[in-house]
Every structure is written in C-alpha cells, then in structure tokens.
A and B are shown apart, each in its own frame.
Chain A
Amino acid sequence: MTAYILPIEKPEKMVQIHVPRYNPEVDATPEMLTYTVPFVPTMTVMQALEYLWDQGEYIAFRSNCREFTCGSCAILINGEPRLACMTVLQDGMKLEPLSLFPTLRDLVVDQTKLLKKYANLRLWPDNPRVCFDDFQVSPQTIRRYGDIYSRCVECYCCLEACPSVAVDWESYAGPMLMIQLARVGEHPLDQEDRLKMAVANGLYLCTTCKKCEEVCPLDISCPRDVTENFRAQVVDRGIGLLKGHQEVIARIKENGKYTTAKGKSFLETVREKEEMGNPVDRVAFFVGCLADLHLQDSASAMVDVLKRNRVEVVTPKEQICCGSPLIRIGEVGLAEEVVLKNVDILERSGVERVVTICAHCAFTMREDWTKILAAKRGRSPKFEVFDISEYLARKIQINTEDLKPLTMSVTYHDPCYLNRGLDVSKEPRELLKKIPGVRLIEMEKSDRCCGGGGEVKDGAPQFAKAITSVKIKSIQKTSAEAVVTACPHCVEQIAEVSADSGASYQCFNIVELLSRSYQG
C-alpha cells in the first residue's frame, strides 16, 4: 500500500497565527511571534500547533485527548478562553496562555492555586466508607449527572472568563468549582453540607452574567443549572440569606416593588393610555422597578420614543416587579405569585406585544414567565415580550426622519441578560448608528458584566462595585462622552460607581438618547 497523503500536505491556503513565546526563566517579557501554517477546512488550532512541532517549533502547550474530553488544552484564542482542539483555525488568530494563572512557558500555565482550591473543597462523597452495596440513585440525579456534571471536563475556561473570579477568587470559588460542589452534593452517599460550603464559597457573588456558559465548550450553564438551584435551596432551608436580599424579598412581599422610590414613581404619574389615530402597533409598556422608581427619565423617554414611532402605548398601573430579583435570590415561591399576577394584569390590557427597557425584565418575562406559566397553568402567555431595541430594529419600521443630529461620541455596554440572555447585541448598535452625529466607539470586552446583575449589588455591594471598576476602566479607555446601555441595572450600577471615581462621561439608557435626538 502506498503511503496516503496527509490532508495537510495539500492545504487550501496558508494562514498566520500569533503566539507570545515566553520562558520566564530567561525572557524579560513575552515576544509575540507570527507563524505561517497550512490550512485545510475544519483544521483546529491544536493541529496548527502540532504542525509547528513537526516543523521543529516546539511551542509549549498542554494537550492529551484532542477531542475535548480531557480539558487540558484551554488557552486564550483572540482573547477568549477556548479549547485549542475544538476551535477551528482562522487567519490571524492570537493565541495566549490563560491569564488567571502565572505563565510557566509559552501557553503552559501554573495551575497550583486551582488544585489547592479543588482539594480544599473535598469534592468526594464524604461518608464513613463502609460498603454501600445497595443505595438508591434518583432518576433525576442520573439525569443531572449525565446532562451537566459528568460532562464538565474541568478545562477552566469558565473560571478564566468569570468576572467575579477575576476580581476576587478568594471570595468566589468560581463556576467550575460550584458545578463540582453541586455534583458531589447530589451524590446519594455524600453526607457533607454542600449548600453551606457553596454559601461560604461565594454562592451570592455570581452575577448570573452567563459568561461562563458562553465560553463553556460543553455548554454547561452554571447560573441556570447550579447557582439558581443552590440559591433556591438557601431560601428553602432558611440558611445564609444575605441581609440585602431579605430586604428585597420583604419589599416585594409588601408592595410588589424591588426597591424604594427616589423621587416620584413613574407609574403614579404616567398616563395609562397614550391613544393616537392610526397607530402602527399597540403595545403594553412593562416599566420595571428601577425605571419606575429610580430612573424615571428613561421611562418617560420610552413613552416618547414609542409615540414618535406611532405606537400606541398602554402602561398598566398595577404592574409589579417582574420577579427577576426573587428568582436570582432563590425565592422561587414568591416569584411565581408575582409572575402570575403580572401576567393577569398584562393580559387584561388586551395587547399582543409587551415592550421593556430592562434586560432583566425582558429575559425573565420571556424565559422564566413562560416556564412558570406552563407549569402552573399549562399554557403560554397571550403576549410576546420585546426589548425596546429589538422592537424598534426588528418589529417596526423605525422613524428615522425625525431623528435630529446629536454630536456625541458614545460607547455601548452590552447588558448580560440582553446579549447572552436574549441574543440581542446587534440591534442597539444599529439604532445608535441611525442617530445622525452619534459616533460609536467600541470598548474592550463590551460584553463583560458590569456587576449590576444576579442580585450581587443588593447582597454584597462592595463586591459588585469591584466588578464595575473593571468595566469603568474599559469605558474610560474609549474616551467616549457617554456610555449607553439597555438596562437600568447597568445604568444605575455604572453611573453610581463612575460618580464615586469621578468619571466625566454620562451614562444612560439607549431610549434616552433616541428621545433626545427626536426632541433635537
């Protein structure tokens, strides 16, 4: 038999990759080198590195299975943590070692710190080790092991990407370790109180930003599958609930609002119906607690923008908190009550579409409400929910004629619940580009969490602020005059911490910018 020709010997094209070569023993700093490698369709980054080995360029990197089961090969590829064996090679890719750990050489990092944390969590079933021949494992446990826990290859991508780990790994163990804690906690032979361990390891420091889920090569979601589950158990068992969260729950129980008013409530002043002849559409406005009680300007701007687009707006005055804070805290029972009440109110208004200006509301209404309604009433809501950017960019023909120039440079921050939650990131940018005179300057990692979500800011405000500080640095780097976003939680968090640090830019919701432009 003649030797076969390796596909790599007849490449489709040549591509370049950039790798910092670094041996801290002898080099002062990493030297970024560029290598040219052949490309065949579907070829991976790892195959490119292997090709270089074959050429005598022994770039140091770890690997073993080459089919995403061992988790050895995580590196930063164009700044995002990914498995080299799972990432298809593209021209110009930049490969770097994970930044969470010290670099030992080239792409190899020192994971000692992680291994210590791992050992400290005692991730084995804690029991007296007599022989257990006959114990039961519930079908649910088997399912969760199969769908979630056993699939984690411990690649550390999620740890690298997590904004909470980045600010303080001592306080928050991070997604992978939370998943592993949940894994062992669900084992029928484990007798240790894993919930208490989770709380002690920062259960309430996860902003539920879903970045870990986005980077996980196995699509495991820590916030959905682990964090919220654990938090629900905290509430059930009445242990470890933070003071700030108890207050949130108490407020919602008492008057249906997540926070107390600063100034006059928007809902008290707004006209319930903005009627007009020949509307292009008719929608209900779900205001959300923050826009109602703290950021009333954005709520007014919203009504203005809708009117200028000839959309008839109904704003039901009895609407209450969407339930998001309760679900993030783990108070699922109360959340269900709140949701059902809101559904009734909105359905009574008879509209088919509901629009929001809050990423948390939009996500919760679309995802959690649907689930709760299906479970409780066996049906789906009679209305569809849209975030305002999505609505303006996709649902109607936006009125661009009346947009007047605003000379301003802005940068856009992606709210996690909008971007990763509902996959809305292009729409707000399209809108910004429609406003004459507005110049969009993208910041580094615009999708990085601002610290405003997951109820961290009510439970552990200092920790949330530390996350925000990282965000603020990327905003400042752009020198933009304003940071625009699409969620009151982000607006409030960024504005507050920016003010503390004396930043000069403004911060507001995208509808405010639109409304200003309409007003000229």
Chain B
Amino acid sequence: MEHWVKEVVECDVLVVGGGGAAAFSAISAQEDKARVVMADKGQLGKSGCTPNAHGGMAVAHLHPEDSWRVHFEDTLYGGGFLNDQRLVEILCKESLRFIPKLETFGAIFDRDQNGNYRLRTFGGHSKPRSVYSGDATGHELMTSLKREVMRRNIPILNEMMILCVLVDEGRVTGAVGLDKASSNLCLFRTPAIILATGGGVGCWPAAAERQMGDGYCMALRAGAELVDMEFTQYHPTHTWWPYGVRGSVSESVRSEGGQLTNSRGERFMKRYSPERMELSTRDFISICEYREITEGRGSKSQGIYLSVTHLPPEVIENRLRTVFNKYLVYGYDIRKEPMEIRFRPHYSNGGVLVNERMESRVSGLFAVGETAGGVHGGNRLGTNSLIDLVVFGEIAGREAADKALKQGHTGKIDRDAVREEGERIERLVNGNPREGIRAMSIRRPHTEMMDLYMGVFRNESGMKKMVEEVEKLKEDDLPRLYVADQSKRYNYELIDALETFVRVDIEEVSTRGALMRKESRATHYREDYPKMDNQQWLKNLVFSMENGELKHRFKPVDKSVLDPENIPEFFDSDFPWHESEI
C-alpha cells in the first residue's frame, strides 16, 4: 500500500467537494470543534455549479400569504410527492436565518429602499420568495463561503480528486484521493466524510458538463444507497445555437414575452398548453420541444427557436441585459435574430439516501447538496437548491463533527482497497495500446447516447438499448481502457479515464431505475407510460450495490407531514406535472 500512497492526511471530518454545500459543511463542522479538511477536484470557489447559479435562493417567506407551509407544499407538488417530507420541513422552516448569516460572511443581497430583501418568483413557487444578488447569486454565495473558509483557516486541498471511501465494518475509516498536480495518491484517515460533490448531469450533454457524479459512485461503492436516481431535471432553454454561447437562457426571457417557435414559425406551445404557453413548467416545455424536433419541426440546427425580436429593443437591452450581453460577446444580436435553444439536463434530483442528520446507512458517511437525495423528490423547484446547500450543509457539518468527536478514529484502513486504487491507475497508465481504448472514445458517444435514450422522453426499447450499451461498456471497454499520456502532472486524460468508471455507475443506476418506473411523474416522462400512477408508483426506488452488482428496493414515500392520499386533486389525477394551487 505504501508504494502507492505518497501522502497521508488525518482529520476528524473530510469534506469532499468545493462548492456551496461543501464549504458550508466544512464551516459548520469546524464551528463544532472538529478538525476539518476539504478536498476539491477543482479549485475552491471556481468549481462545481454553485458559482454558476444565477437566479436566486428560495428563503424568504416575506409575502403576506407565504409561510414555510406554503413553500413546503410547493416543493412537494414539484417533486411529485416523492420528497422526504421531514427534510422538506427542515428546509422550509430553517431557510430564512441563513441570509443574515451569509451576509455576515460577506455576501450582499439585493434590498429595496426600505432595506427589505427583494424577491423573485420562480417556476413552481406560488409566491415570490427567492432572494438574489443581481444575476450572480450563486457567485455571491460562493464568494462569501470561500472567504469564511479562509478566515477559519480550514485546510483545502485543491485539485484533489477523491476516488473512493474506505469502510470497515459499515463504518467510514478514510478515503483515497488523487492529486491532479502529481497523480500521486493521498490517503485520508478520518471517521467522518461529507460527500458534497454536486450532481451528475455531466454524463449527459449538459451545461454543467464537468459534474460527473463522483459522489454517487463513491457512496454506492461504500455501501450507501441511492434514491430517485431516475429523475434528471431538464432545462428547456439551454443555449444551442450560436455554437459558442453556453449555459442556460434564463427563465426571465420567457416571462418578458420571449416566444418559442418551430421551423414553421408556429408558437407550438399553443397546441400543448394554450393557457400557460411559454410559461409552462420546465419539464413540460422540454417535452413539447422534443416532440417538435422529432416530428421534423426543429430549427435549423435541430433545436427550437426562442425569439425576442418582436420585443422593443429597450426591453431587451434593459430587462434582458444579461442574456443580451452574453450573446453579444459572441457577436450575435438577439434583437435581430432568434436564439436556437434546446432542452438540456440541468440537475440530478436524486442522490444518496440520507436521514435527517444527512447520514447515509454507512456510519460516518454523510451527503449534502446535489449529492444528497430526498429533499427535492422527483423534481427540484428553481432556486430551492442554493438554500438546500446551506441548510443541510450546516446539519451535515454539525452531525459529522459530532460523530467524529464522539467516536474517534476507530476501525482499520482497508489496505486492499487502497492497493486496488493504485493498481487501477497503474493498469490505466500501462495499458496495452494495441487493443486498448481511450477515454474520449467512450465519453463522447456515451454522452450522446444518454441524451438519446435517457433524455427527456423515455421508452422501454431505448432504455433497454442503453442498458445494453452500459453492459458493453462494463464488459468490453473498461478492461481495455488505457491512458496514452504517460506524464504525472495534470494528466487530464487520466482524470477522463477515472471519470469513465463513475459514468458507468451513474448510467446504470439511472437507466435501470427509469426502466423500472413504469409511469410518468415529475421529470421522468415515459412515452410508453405517459400517465402518473399513484396506486403503483407513489414510492421511491432505492439502489445499492452488493459485490459489484446493483440491487434495488422500494421505499414507501414519507408522509409524515402531508399525506397525498388526502389531496384528491393530486392523488386521483394521472397528470404527471402538478403545481401547488395555494
């Protein structure tokens, strides 16, 4: 083992990740006197999705008709009642006190002349309750968290990719990481680990293409369970053409009057949702776009047109300033030409199954943020994520510290597992080029396949095809995978190869889950089962891994606060997309 490991780090709590959830967990764990170390695959403050979130965070129930309970119900309707209601209750009750806390760390949120927070309304929220900082809410949040981490002198290992969690008799004992700068392995000895590695939509062609779902894979392999992994949120207006522009086009374009049209210039939403038109939910619009494209009415580049050319130029220049400027950077004038957009994966709704302490079934293994499942059920409402990071970050940090300090460093380091990591890397680097396959030859086609078969519109034959592809990947490709680049410094090909292993698990869990769920609900839409089926499917699908094989079980949904059976408008309906009526 020593042969592989060049560095050993000992701590009470290891936080894996460098996004909002990771930073807040680290702060909270240190507050509770634990010795914390953070390890981030990227660079703290620059990695993950947190700095890229624009819109806002749903925290403030300041509207006279708003309350934690209204927020709670909105969240459940959005999630198709698959949410863990205990977690949602915590989210909605705790949220408001975090805003002053973040401001104490250095953030500034928009306020009106009287000093009250300004609020935005987002899809699925029945009241305006999202606090924001211009169009850079996530960036502002991350800036303040990063500085609080620095103020507390919490050690942060940047560009350290954690590869696996070490477990002894159902208890966390450590982790193995790869230092990107040297390709050396680092062994962490720790009784508590918080996985805050974000989502896994990078397995699809997504905006957040760098987020591969490492945490899901590590948790699964350490013995934890994953829940609701068949639910991937699509964003309906993701940039598509012009080619250089990346990321999503804010919902505000549609709320200001932007029109979705097909190749015939028809506002096709009138056929699907004549009342709400462009303001329907994210998932529903994505599905309509899909239909238009498949039926041959897609735009020039096989997307959909999103046009604001009919709006007065002043409206575009002022109220849609961010989007307008973004396109202008690439020399494209949206006052004159339509954008071509397309639905794109945006968020992993499911994740590691955790309890109210954010702990998985592996003692000492915590998950938080997009890595954790349960809070958002089958679909996350816009702006519910950023607040999730801090509310549950605080809990995860506190509980992990508590566990570590009470339990201390017990249990053995699984030397075999460490050796396996070392050997895996050696195999990759010394693989046989003649029969070998390189990571990029897997990444690109698989990304496209996930879009094709596991996209916004799913059916049995497509998903079966995908399962076959995953099997092929596991059996034929993985053993042949090799890395042509032999150097140890910043070997991005090696990272790409290691991520291929993660991809296998994410593809398999989500496809098998989606294949199993024979209904449509929230972000999971099946062509062959287009209706919601509350009799059969008001339950969560949970995956675990035993001896390298996936196992599944069903878990009844949590009804501790609100029983959907008592809501006939929801329970008796078979329409997959509901919104709170309140």
Contacts and interface: CB of A to CB of B under 8 A. Distances in A.
Given A1-B294, A41-B243, A66-B247, A150 B133 contact: yes
A25 B489 contact: yes
B487 interface: yes
B488 interface: yes
B136 A64 contact: no
Contacts of B48: 64
A153 interface: yes
Contacts of A405: none
B143 interface: yes
A488 B329 CA distance: 36
Given A42-B242, A43-B243, A189 B490 contact: no
A137 B440 contact: no
A65 B52 contact: yes
- The B interface is mostly helix, strand or loop, or mixed, namely loop
B448 interface: yes
Taking residues whose C-beta sits less than 8 angstroms from the other chain, chain B's interface range is 35 or more
B243 A42 contact: yes
A67 B247 contact: yes
A42 B47 contact: no
Given A42-B331, A58-B485, A142-B110, A124 B148 contact: yes
Contact of A189 (B51, B103, B148): B103
Contacts of A54: 440, 443-444
Given A26-B487, A54-B444, A64-B42, A124 B209 contact: no
Interface string B244-266: 11110000000000000000000
Given A7-B241, A71-B46, A137 B111 contact: yes
B127 to A, nearest CB: 22
Contacts of B216: none
Interface in A124-141: 124-125, 127, 129, 131-133, 135-137, 139, 141
A138 B293 CA distance: 49
B113 interface: yes
Nearest to B53: A69
A43 B487 CA distance: 30
A40 interface: yes
B397 to A, nearest CB: 16
Contacts of B209: 66
Contact of B484 (A43, A56, A62, A146): A56
Interface in B13-58: 42-43, 45-48, 51-52, 54
Contacts of A122: 151
B143 A150 contact: yes
Interface string A40-76: 1111100100000111101010111111111110000
A23 to B, nearest CB: 5
Contacts of A66: 207, 209, 246-247
Contacts of A1: 290, 293-294, 452, 455, 457
A343 B147 CA distance: 47
A366 interface: no
Contact of B136 (A23, A56, A132, A151): A151
Given A25-B489, A42-B243, A66-B209, A104 B181 contact: yes
A447 B391 CA distance: 50
Given A65-B51, A108-B490, A56 B438 contact: yes
A3 B150 contact: no
Contacts, number: 172
Interface string B428-454: 000000000010110110001001100
Contacts of A62: 42-43
Contact of A42 (B143, B181, B244, B455): B244
B104 interface: yes
A42 B328 CA distance: 10
Contacts of A53: 440, 492, 496
Contacts of A86: 329
A41 B241 CA distance: 9
Contact of B52 (A5, A70, A127): A70
Given A42-B332, A86-B329, A104-B489, A7 B111 contact: no
B330 interface: yes
Secondary structure type dominating chain A contacts? loop
Contacts of B490: 60, 104-106, 108
B294 A150 contact: no
A85 interface: yes
B108 interface: yes
A505 interface: no
B151 A124 contact: yes
B139 A60 contact: no
A7 B239 CA distance: 13
B93 interface: no
Interface in B216-240: none
A475 interface: no
A154 interface: yes
A3 B209 CA distance: 19
Interface string A90-106: 00000000000000111
Given A58-B492, A72-B42, A104-B490, A64 B242 contact: no
Contacts of B440: 53-56
A132 B47 contact: no
A154 B47 CA distance: 13
Contacts of A119: 150
B251 to A, nearest CB: 16
Interface string A229-258: 000000000000000000000000000000
Contacts of A145: 108, 133-134, 140
A255 to B, nearest CB: 45
B242 A150 contact: no
A8 interface: yes
A12 to B, nearest CB: 10
Contacts of A136: 115
A97 to B, nearest CB: 11
Given A5-B302, A42-B331, A86-B329, A125 B106 contact: yes
Nearest to B101: A131
A184 interface: yes
B493 interface: yes
B313 interface: no
B42 A47 contact: no
Interface string B355-375: 000000000000000000000
A301 interface: no
B120 interface: no
Given A1-B294, A66-B209, A145-B133, A40 B243 contact: yes
Nearest to B54: A69
Contacts of A43: 243-244
A60 B492 CA distance: 6
A88 interface: yes
Nearest to A83: B329
Contacts of B110: 142, 146
Interface in A197-248: none
Contacts of A25: 487-489
B346 to A, nearest CB: 13
Q: Most chain-B CB neighbours within 10 Å: which of A43, A60, A119, A189?
A: A60
Nearest to B132: A146
Interface of B: 42-43, 45-48, 51-52, 54, 100, 103-106, 108, 110-111, 113, 115, 133-134, 136, 139-140, 143-144, 147-148, 150-151, 181, 207, 209-210, 241-247, 290, 293-294, 301-302, 326, 329-332, 438, 440-441, 443-444, 448, 451-452, 455, 457, 484-485, 487-493, 496
14 contacts: A5-B302, A7-B241, A41-B244, A42-B242, A47-B244, A55-B440, A86-B329, A88-B244, A88-B330, A118-B150, A137-B108, A142-B108, A146-B133, A187-B106
Given A125-B105, A145-B140, 9 more contacts: A7-B241, A63-B210, A67-B207, A67-B246, A67-B247, A106-B490, A124-B144, A124-B151, A131-B100
- The 10 lowest CB-CB distance pairs between A and B, nearest first, are A42-B244, A67-B247, A42-B242, A124-B147, A42-B330, A146-B134, A60-B490, A58-B493, A105-B490, A4-B302
